[in-house]
Amino acid sequence: RVLSGTNTEGQPPLVGQPPSEGQSYFGSRPLFDKSQCYEFATGKLANVLGPDFAQSDSYKSRVRLPDAPLMLVDRIMSMTGVAHSLQPGKIVTEHDVLVDGWYLDNGCLPVCISVEAGQADLILSGYLGMDRESKGETVYRLLDAEITFYRHLPRPGEVIHYDIRIIEFFNHSGTWFFRFEYDGTINDTLLITMRNGCAGFFSEQALAAGEGLVTSKIVARQMKGSKGSDWIDFVEMQVEGYTALQLSHLRKGNLGDCFGTQFDQLQLNDPLVLPDGKMNLVHRVTQIIPEGGRFGLGQIIAEADIHQDDWFLTCHFVDDMVMPGTLMYECCLHTLRLYLLRMGWVAEAADVVYQPILGVRSRLKCRGQVLSTTKLVTYEVSIKELGYAPEPYAIVDSLMYADGKPIVLNI
């Protein structure tokens, strides 16, 4: 049995019974299996946590996991904390990287899914009392996170073990927030940490009144970027953009049909380009500006159209459709990849992989939302640092807009 919390007699009460079948990769029986995680996402909370949570199911919305395909919690190993206490707690979960996973990018779990799979702070915040406090009148929104990777991205067959902690709840001017963090490990080797996480619970009126990011001081301040002493320009760059048709050619590996004659004669059979399918997140490039951006090393501006039935809206969440912040993060990474490809950083897919720079912290700030009513999102990526040692790398700042409003900053 897996125990959780502390009762008035000092004994830890049961949160729930483990399923009769199934084990984790590490041999322990889970507290909740995948079918119960889906119940968290789309069913009744009381069916998993018991009748004391039936009231949460009567509200017009509650804290829940995403539905498929973004329900990434394969099992919950333990949950510690006092129900409805708004006190600190902890949840431990696992995610299996599937051999045929829809999300795989050149044989790796992409950055956004590696981060998003640590999503069970949602369950924990509800268990610890946010549903009872908000009564369905407010909804969860991620505000801040700092992400650092420590090893290469997960590969099929690996299992990520997430240790997620809510550090504190606090109320500011009538709005509830919580601070949280997590560690993600694979076979006891650290993969990822998330620190200084902050999420809040906002009314529809508060979200509608939000002005987005205050970016004037950040974006307007010019700074000098840097290139390694061994820097080489592989191809000539110029101001240009690419249509949806050109990007579709690129996704098929036809570099010259997108980037022009400089790329026509490359002897590549299967170049690593942009993801497709559900991960087709960039629809056109409005401008590439060599030596542009606030660091003077280059800038790329791209766009995507938003539709009411987009998969990332309809599954996230079933009673509160909003684009996840982690996917916004991935959109900017794909935009950066376009710039790097245009610089001539092209190779056979079997020989290279896009990876986060190990040990370099990435700070994500979300101050707005992409909804089913949003029409257009814009990604603005500015190159900050480029080099070839120890491997080719780029460090950038990115800014995302929803219908012209700045909503996400990554620095």
Work out the average pLDDT over 193-218.
88
pLDDT digits (tens, 9 = 90+) for 88-106: 999 999 999 999 999 999 9
Contact 32, 75 (CB under 8 A): yes
Is residue 152 annotated as a catalytic residue, yes or no? no
> Which segments within 235-305 are labelled E, that is strand?
240-242, 284-289, 299-305
Work out the average pLDDT over 39-53.
96
Helix, strand, coil: what percent of the chain each, to 5? 20, 30, 50
Task: Indicate whether 354 pLDDT > 80.
Answer: yes
pLDDT for res 217 = 60
Q: Is 282 left (phi over 0), alpha (psi -120 to 50) or beta?
A: beta
pLDDT for res 218 = 60
Task: Indicate whether 272 pLDDT > 90.
Answer: yes
The backbone torsions φ and ψ at residue 116, rounded to the nearest 5 degrees and listed phi first, read -65, -30
* b/e per residue 44-56 (b: at least 16 CB within 10 A): ebbebbeeebeeb
> Which listed residue (95, 161, 316, 334) is catalytic?
316
The amino acid sitting at 297 is: L
Task: Indicate whether 174 pLDDT > 90.
Answer: yes
pLDDT digits (tens, 9 = 90+) for 280-292: 999 999 999 999 9
Work out the average pLDDT over 391-408.
96
pLDDT digits (tens, 9 = 90+) for 327-348: 999 999 999 999 999 999 999 9
pLDDT digits (tens, 9 = 90+) for 218-250: 666 788 999 999 899 999 999 999 999 999 999
Task: Indicate whether 297 pLDDT > 50.
Answer: yes
Which residue has tokens 């199934």? 22
Distance of CA 240 to the CA centre of its chain: 29
- Cα–Cα distance, 217 to 215 (Å, whole number): 6
Task: Indicate whether 109 pLDDT > 50.
Answer: yes
Mean pLDDT for the chain overall = 92
pLDDT for res 28 = 74
Work out the average pLDDT over 169-196.
97
Residue 212 pLDDT level (bands cut at 50, 70, 90):
confident
Contact 183, 115 (CB under 8 A): no
Residue 82 pLDDT level (bands cut at 50, 70, 90):
very high
Percentage of the chain modeled with pLDDT above 90: 88
Nearest to 213 by CA among 16, 405, 20: 405
- Cα–Cα distance, 188 to 335 (Å, whole number): 33
Q: Which two tokens stand for residue 75?
A: 């099992």
Global confidence as pTM: 0.92
Work out the average pLDDT over 307-323.
97
Half-sphere exposure of 194 (CA within 13 A, CB side): 30
Residue 134 pLDDT level (bands cut at 50, 70, 90):
very high
Task: Indicate whether 215 pLDDT > 90.
Answer: no
Task: Indicate whether 20 pLDDT > 50.
Answer: no
